[in-house]
Amino acid sequence: MRIDRHHTYLVRATVDSSPRWGVVEDGRVYELAGTPFDGWECGAEMGLLDNLQLLAPIVPTKIIGVGRNYPAHAAEHGREVPPEPLLFFKPPSSVIGPGTPIILPPQSEQVEHEAELAIVIGRRCRDVRPQEAWDYVLGVTCGNDVTARDLQRRDDQWVRAKG
């Protein structure tokens, strides 16, 4: 079965003790032949979406976040949106699947969550023109940016607070 990449739900799930990529169609998940980076050819049915153990949608090589990127959130912390993007990295190990418990850092007393829009880049790129940006996007998903605010305030670098 060949599918249209636009408006499609891509998932990763454990089947027979191994992670697999699949596409959701009418509540059923069909395995991708290869990876989502290779193409979108579907194979056998993996099962009903509700019966599968879902994993994080992707295994990232790096995660780049943009801090203080909207006025209301910046104001909550007594700051302004900076004129240039405030970029930070999160370790790939900070990505977990739906329903997986979040391990809170024991040295923090103020851990907060933020709902985020996560854009998954599907192929290597550099200096992409704005009108071509979506050509490099594999998909969009929801994320939970967990931050140890007290550690973030103490450190010049955000790595301990964001990881």
Task: Dump pLDDT digits (tens) for 115-136.
Answer: 999 999 988 999 999 999 999 9
For residue 67, what pLDDT is reported?
86
- DSSP code per residue over 11-35: EEEEETTEEEEEEEETTEEEEESS-
Q: Which residues of 60-79 are buried (b: 16+ CB within 10 A; e: fewer)?
A: beebebebbeeeeebeeeee
> Residue 75: in which H helix or E strand, if any?
helix 71-76
In this prediction, residue 53 has a pLDDT band, given cuts at 50, 70 and 90, of: very high
How far apart CA 99 and CA 42 sit, in angstroms, is: 26
Average pLDDT over residues 11-26: 91
Would you say residue 160 has pLDDT above 90? no
